[in-house]
Amino acid sequence: MTPTEIIELNIVFTLIGFLLGNRLAIGRDKRNEWNALVAPIHIALLRIKNGSLIGLPNDWEMTISLMRERLPRLRRRGFDRAVEEYEKSRSGENQNEYKPEISGFSEGGPYKDLGLIARAAVRLLKYLKPR
């Protein structure tokens, strides 16, 4: 090999190393961004799964829409179904009637079936794993 060829190879491999390093750094930034986005929702869903009635943070719908944008296209339909199922489990169909005369709910709290909420939370958790 001539000195010119060695210099050319050094330049080529330096550029490849630079591009590869940049690509890995971008991937690391995306992973950190995903984890920061997912953490509060993930913790809240774990609490719900374990029987806590404390719901998701107030801004969870905005966070969910940001997460949806970052999911691969093939996983979005399942994610949307899981979000819809969670919302349905917390809706009026699963809520007990509030009784003002006793200042509380009939039969065991605000929800008829806590298991329904926990199962919906578990399905949603499948999509919200930290990376």
Residue-wise pLDDT for 5-42, tens only, equals 888 888 988 888 888 888 877 878 888 888 888 888 88
CA distance 126 to 78: 10
pTM: 0.68
C-alpha distances (whole Å) from 74 to each of 21, 41, 49, 65, 69 are 28, 22, 26, 16, 12
CA distance 31 to 36: 9
Percent of the chain with pLDDT over 90: 11
* Domain residue spans of the chain: 3-125
CA distance 96 to 104: 10
